[in-house]
Amino acid sequence: MTGSIFVHPATYFLLGAALLPLMGKLRLQKVWLILIPLAAFTQIYYLPESFGHVQYLGFDLVFGRVDRLTFVFLHVFTLMALTGCIYGLRVKETGQHIAAFLYVAGSLGVTLAGDYLTLFIFWELMAFASTFLIWYRKKKRSIEAGYRYLLVHTAGGLILLAGIFLLYQTGHDLSFGVFSQEGAGWAEYLIMIGFMLNAAVPPIHAWLPDAYPEATVTGAVFMCAFTTKTAVYVLARAFPGFEILAIMGAIMALYGVAYAVIENDARRILAYHVVSQVGYMVCAVGIGTTMAINGAAAHAYAHIFYKALLFMGAGAVLEMTGKSKLSELGGLYRTMPWTMIFTVIGGIAISGFPLTSGFISKSMIVQAAGDAHMTIILVMLLLAAIGTFLSVGIKLPYFIWFGKDSGIRAPEAPWNMQLGMGIAAFICIFLGFYPDALYNMLPYAVTYEPYTAYHLSETFQLFAFTGLGFYLMVKHMKPHSVSNLDLDWFYRRGAGSFMRFAEGPVNRTNEWVSNVYKTVGLRFTMASARAFSWFDREGIDWTLDGSARHVVRSGDRLRHLQTGKVQHYIGGAVAALLIVVLVAALL
């Protein structure tokens, strides 16, 4: 990770976004979409440990700080950007690719930031750029979801900024480093809340299942990979060992699973599983041991690819059928076999099946909870694993690909979508077979061995009983086209109440004030204007214009004294002289 020639990886995506319109006109857009993330992926191997130190308005800005924790996230982010660009090659809207590039640039900027001001700049770039990945779907629900997403993240950004201000006020040091739980105050916890919002920690999580299902097919793939995992990185960087995170993470893991089990829309199921799986990572950060931090980083890496794979599969189905609700699908294995295979691989990987990436990463977090003697949290994580296999490992593929035949005969997904899914599926399997490829990148030395007889036996028992339970309850698991309320109900209802208040009392008050102004204020204003006009005309103008007229008349009189005859001038001068002498004699 050293070298004498380097470029900030975010620069590639910023430059790539700026030149994308030109590349589109030159018919080089597809090449550009591959070249930019490939260059950034190569660049991360040549970054020095520290770079980009800038003095600005008295602040020390650090745009680059690289260690092993940074590197593993840089590695997965740039590799995921390449995979996502391949998946979205057929997207013709240049603006959507620009938004994706800026989104990735923001994520890389946050990951490399060495101070909170730099972090905040890239943090907000992520929020605004990703909003367009929702809006570009160009449906009424997407536009509305995009506005809610932007408002929530703007609020989160303001909370984060308030924490940064308080942090500077207390110590005049904005270095992005580890906080101590014992000395944490308002500044630290406001920063934590700002980070937790992007991590979708309940009760500030509802933006995620609200927005991700409404994003474009390619946009959802990018969004599931970057926002929440960037939040996991900054939590791991700043708040390792904060017990509240361990508790909230375990709650997240169960909360997301509970909603995923009852959901009908495929992409909403996957969105709730983002909440659940990120819960494992947040919990690991809260545990704070070297095993737990390694587990959080490993699970973030694994999760990005198996979750992206699942969103790719669901997106391919949506692209080819126009449907995403399980109640409207079924029997697609006949015409979309490759998409089915890739989606099943993603399903077993997220479930933590042996020989997949989820098995080697999720088990590290469970083991860390056991080593820390957090029994209740350990049980909660195991229950979440059962729910994950039930909802995504079995329910999702069963009702999309098998189940009752919907009669839909959609063609297979385009080659670029299949290639993107194939890359993600390969990584899921490769890491399961060769966990050291991931373990060697982790922040701390790994001594953990996932493939033990006890762990394998435990895993197969959980899966066997879960599968049996689904078989016995399959009729009750049948999806129904209903809407499930979440905590977003409160701000939706709050927004509705505010709108009714604005349209009712506020609007009536505004109309009353307008009428009062028309009847009283406007008349008073016009009367005042007429009075000032009269004063200007009769007072100021009379005084100034009268003085001017007097001067003009005096000048006219003096002008008549000029006869043009010399004797008159001499006589006048002699008379004036006599008057002066006479006056002087009298004095």
Pick the closest to residue 282 from 310, 312, 256 (CA basis): 256
Looking at the predicted structure, is the pLDDT value of residue 482 above 80? no
Residues in the chain: 587
375 falls in which pLDDT band (50, 70, 90)?
very high
How crowded is residue 486: how many other Cβ atoms within 10 Å of its Cβ? 20
Q: What is the mean pLDDT of residues 159-182?
A: 90
Contact 327, 264 (CB under 8 A): yes
Higher pLDDT residue, 200 or 529?
200
* pLDDT band, residue 554 (cuts 50/70/90): low
**Number of C-alpha atoms within 13 angstroms, CB side, residue 580?**
6
Helix axis angle, 9-25 relative to 94-112, nearest 10°? 170
Q: What angle do CA 421, 426, 427 make, to 5 degrees?
A: 100
Q: Is the pLDDT of residue 368 over 80?
A: yes
Geometric angle at alpha carbon 187, from 185 and 191, rounded to 5°: 120
Give the Cα separation of 535 and 531 in Å (integer): 6
Q: What is the DSSP letter of 487?
A: T
Euclidean distance between the first and final Cα of the chain, in Å?
Answer: 106
Residue 39 pLDDT > 60, yes or no?
Answer: yes
Side chain identity at residue 551, one-letter code? V
Residue 152 in this model has a pLDDT that exceeds 50: yes
Query: Which range among 138-147, 322-331, 554-563, 578-587 has the greatest average pLDDT?
Result: 138-147
Using the predicted structure, report yes or no on whether residue 76 has a pLDDT greater than 70.
Answer: yes
pLDDT confidence of residue 541? 58
pLDDT tens for each residue of 390-420: 889 888 999 999 888 888 888 999 999 999 9
Name residue, tokens 């029997």.
331
pLDDT of residue 404: 83
Q: What is the mean pLDDT of residues 366-383?
A: 93
Q: If you average pLDDT over every residue of the chain, what do you get?
A: 88
Give the SS3 label for residue 108.
Answer: helix
Contacts of 68 (CB under 8 A, 6+ apart): 441, 442, 443, 444
Q: In the predicted model, what is the mean pLDDT of residues 431-438? A: 95
pLDDT of 345 over the 80 cut: yes
Of the listed ranges 48-57, 191-200, 448-457, 538-547, the least confidently predicted one is 538-547
What is the β-pairing status of strands 50-56 and 59-65? antiparallel
Q: Is residue 513 very low, low, confident or very high in pLDDT (cuts 50, 70, 90)?
A: confident
**Contacts of 57 by beta carbon, 8 Å cutoff, 6+ apart:** none
State the pLDDT confidence band at 458, using cuts at 50, 70 and 90: confident
**Is the pLDDT at 35 greater than 80, yes or no?**
yes
Residue-wise DSSP of 220-231:
HHHHHHHHHHHH
Instruction: Give 549's pLDDT tier (boundaries 50, 70, 90).
Output: low
Q: DSSP letter string over 409-420?
A: -PPPPPHHHHHH
CB 91 within 8 A of CB 97: yes
Domain residue ranges of the chain, discontinuous segments joined by +: 1-237, 240-487, 497-532
Q: What is the pLDDT of residue 3?
A: 42
Mean pLDDT along residues 552-572: 63
Residues near 397 by beta carbon (within 8 Å), at least 6 away in sequence: 340, 343, 344, 347
pLDDT for the residue 4: 46
pLDDT of 569 reads 63
**Res 45 pLDDT > 50:** yes
Helix (H) or strand (E) holding 63: strand 59-65
Instruction: Identify any residues that bridge with 59 across adjacent strands, giving them in sequence order.
Output: 56
Question: Is the pLDDT reported for residue 36 higher than 60?
Answer: yes
Residue 443 has pLDDT above 50, yes or no: yes
DSSP, collapsed to helix, strand or coil, labels residue 172 as coil
Q: How confident is the model at residue 68 (pLDDT cuts 50, 70, 90)?
A: very high
Cis link prior to 354 (omega < 30° from 0)?
no
Whether residue 14 is predicted with pLDDT greater than 60 in this model: the reply is yes
Structure tokens at 162: 């308030």
Most confident of 45-54, 79-88, 168-177, 449-458: 79-88
533 band by pLDDT with thresholds 50, 70 and 90? confident
Write out pLDDT tens, residues 236-293.
Answer: 999 999 999 999 999 999 999 999 988 989 999 999 999 999 999 999 999 999 999 9
pLDDT tops 90 at residue 147: yes
Residue 6: is its pLDDT beyond 90?
no
The answer to whether the beta carbons of residues 32 and 20 sit under 8 Å apart is yes
Residue 57: pLDDT band with limits 50, 70, 90: confident
- What is the arithmetic mean of pLDDT over 19-40? 95
Average pLDDT over residues 86-94: 94
Which residues touch 249 (CB under 8 Å, ≥6 apart)? 201, 279, 280, 281, 282, 283, 284, 285, 286
Tell me the pLDDT tens digit for each residue of 289-339: 999 999 999 999 999 999 999 999 999 999 999 998 888 888 899 999 999
